[in-house]
């Protein structure tokens, strides 16, 4: 055991957590999505925004509390995970109730989205706009299985408008939420393992006090 283990270790570095970054982007996307596609008088609008915000805030709060309470960190991280799961269901409901497509993980449009690894709302919006311009074949079906540059679209073909901006934006949000939930699951598992191996603040306090007494002998 390190004789110089700090009583209050470094903590609160949530901005560097991938889970926080993805959840924050999902929050930004959700605010914009609700402004555009959810009736402002609907309770669903407020619930979606609050669920997205809760995911972000609880990751941050849990990280900040980690120095003195691993139990609190684990609990708040799980609250964040639950909030994002609730939001994920809202997006799935939006698509289902309007007869819009929920894209499979290997759908070419989603593969392009994942490859893009967007960091900002503007990048997500640019992806939506680009997918709306994906070329269609002569039968009106999107050639989503092919990577085709805009300049190489043969004459007589037109941009794909069968998939609406709302459909694409909801699927983008779902992709982000799937990733955030996966990352939070891993984060909780790691926190639980660390707690099992090292204990929490009480155990650290005991180790620090014991080490200090040993040095004073």
pLDDT digits (tens, 9 = 90+) for 2-14: 556 554 455 447 8
| Beta bridge pairs of residue 202 | none
The lowest-confidence range among 133-137, 164-168, 177-181 is 133-137
pLDDT at 58 over 70: yes
Tokens 């694409």 -> residue: 168
For residues 63-68, average pLDDT: 72
CA neighbours closer than 13 Å in the CB half-sphere of residue 81: 16
Q: What is the pLDDT of residues 104-161, one digit of tens each?
A: 999 999 999 999 999 999 999 999 999 998 875 433 445 444 443 333 333 333 343 4
> Residue 57 has which token pair?
């805030």
Strand, coil or helix: what is 159? strand
Q: Output the pLDDT for position 70.
A: 79
Options 2.60.120.200, 2.30.30.40, 3.90.1640.30, 1.20.1440.60; which CATH number does 14-102+177-216 get?
1.20.1440.60
**What distance in Å separates the CA atoms of residue 131 and residue 163, rounded to the nearest whole number?**
9
Work out the angle at residue 103's Cα, subtended by the Cα atoms of residues 97 and 108, and round it to the nearest 5 degrees: 155
Domain map (residue ranges) of the chain: 14-102+177-216
> Residue 78 has which token pair?
């799980």
Q: Phi, psi at residue 135, to the nearest 5°?
A: -65, 155
Tokens 């609160």 -> residue: 12
């Amino acid at each position: 055991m390190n004789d110089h283990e700090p009583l209050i270790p470094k903590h609160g570095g949530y901005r560097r957590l991938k889970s926080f970054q993805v959840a924050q982007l999902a929050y930004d996307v959700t605010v914009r999505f609700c402004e555009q596609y959810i009736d402002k008088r609907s309770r669903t609008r407020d619930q979606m925004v609050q669920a997205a915000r809760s995911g972000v805030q609880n990751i941050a709060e849990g990280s900040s509390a980690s120095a003195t309470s691993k139990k609190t960190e684990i609990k708040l991280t799980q609250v964040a995970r639950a909030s994002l799961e609730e939001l994920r269901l809202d997006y799935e409901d939006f698509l289902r109730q309007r007869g819009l497509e929920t894209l499979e993980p290997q759908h070419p449009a989603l593969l392009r989205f994942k490859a893009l690894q967007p960091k900002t709302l503007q990048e997500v919006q640019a992806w939506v706009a680009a997918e709306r311009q994906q070329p269609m074949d002569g039968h009106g079906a999107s050639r989503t299985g092919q990577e085709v540059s805009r300049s190489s679209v043969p004459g007589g073909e037109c941009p794909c408008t069968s998939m609406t901006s709302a459909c694409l934006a909801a699927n983008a949000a779902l992709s982000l939420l799937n990733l955030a939930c996966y990352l939070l699951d891993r984060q909780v598992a790691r926190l639980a393992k660390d707690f099992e191996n090292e204990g929490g603040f009480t155990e650290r306090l005991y180790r620090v006090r014991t080490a200090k007494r040993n040095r004073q002998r």
